[in-house]
Amino acid sequence: MKRAAIVGASGYTGRELLTLLARHPRLRAEVVMTARPDTAPEPPAFPHERPVDVLDLGRLATVDGVFLCTPHGAASEIARAALASGQKVVDLSADFRLRDPAVYAHAYGVAHPAPELLPEAVYGLTEHARDAVAGARLCANPGCYPTSILLPLLPLLAAGLVDAAAPIVADSKSGVSGAGKTSGPRTHFGNVHDNFLAYGIGTHRHLPEIQQQAGTDRIVFTPHLLPVFRGILTTLYLQPAAGVSAATMRGCLAERYAGEPFVRVYDRGLPELCAVQQSNRCDLAVAASGPLVVVVAALDNLQKGASGQALQNMNLMLGLPETDGLA
């Protein structure tokens, strides 16, 4: 039995990890702490929940792997301490996703807190980095929007099936849990209920991450806030390369993800949030629409978009079966 620490266990992704680890046959949550220094222990909100202890970096030495469920900027110091003690680290924040510290500073408005760690951080889009993740000490868990965009897009770009000059339109809708546990005016129930809106057009912090991993700045990314708690549905509008059909793109995705436990490519029909919520799966479908090909992706932003993918990566890093705790 391996042991894990969850730092930031009172947030949505931390609580999701606690739920996943409770059914994991080979990895248990040994250390459960807040990410906020100088705070009191948090009693359980419900009888079945665990208390959340104060932040104590010394306790990280007692575990095999560390999950960082912290806001950006707060993860780096904790990652340093865990790595120095020999632990494997999966960071669910944005601290290690962007390779260039200048891009990070532009996107997040502060200098990168640990640029010396960036060269060794592996971007953990598991299906496209499995071997690198398995040998890594530090894994940057992808953002939820980028996961929903990159899983369908990367194989199509690699196969040269997308017109190399045309814009790539990524139209994404997320449940409100993607904004985190701390409520603000925009995510307050009264503003989300019976409402639907676009936001962050051209300025969203996930855009540099998507462009970096896709290797192109032709991506037009428009995020939206859905009046639901969990789930992301992304629609990609693609100009196919000459002679490429929707069937060709569907075949490419089906071949690339054949045998993958957490990616399903539809032969017919379209993904819906209800089919992927509470799962670590990303469902994909392809359809023709006039001169364009439309690709639809659906996933649970708290699982495949965050904690589930983080557990997938930690399983690999600790030499455990990838699907443990996630089937």
Q: What is the dihedral of CA 154, 160, 165, 166, to 10 degrees?
A: -60
Structure tokens at 204: 């969203």
DSSP state letter for 109: S
Shortest CA distance to 172 belongs to which of 280, 277, 297? 297
CB-neighbour burial class of residue 275 (10 A; exposed 0-12, middle 13-18, buried 19+): middle
Instruction: Write b or e for each residue in 58-73: b if 16 or more Cβ atoms lie within 10 A of its Cβ, otherwise e.
Output: ebbeebbbbbbbbebb
The separation between CA 104 and the C-alpha centre of its own chain, rounded to angstroms, equals 17
SS (H, E, C) 3-45: EEEEECCCCHHHHHHHHHHHCCCCEEEEEEECCCCCCCCECCC
Angle at 217 between CA 212 and CA 222, to 5 degrees: 95
CB atoms within 10 A of CB 231: 27
In angstroms, rounded to a whole number, what is the distance separating the alpha carbons of residues 205 and 202?
9
Structure tokens at 218: 């032709």
Q: Which of 139, 144, 252, 282 is catalytic?
A: 144
Do residues 172 and 149 touch, judged by C-beta distance below 8 A? yes
Angle at 54 between CA 7 and CA 183, to 5 degrees: 65
Do residues 34 and 16 touch, judged by C-beta distance below 8 A? no
Is 274 catalytic? The answer is no
Would you please indicate which residues are annotated as catalytic (active-site) residues?
144
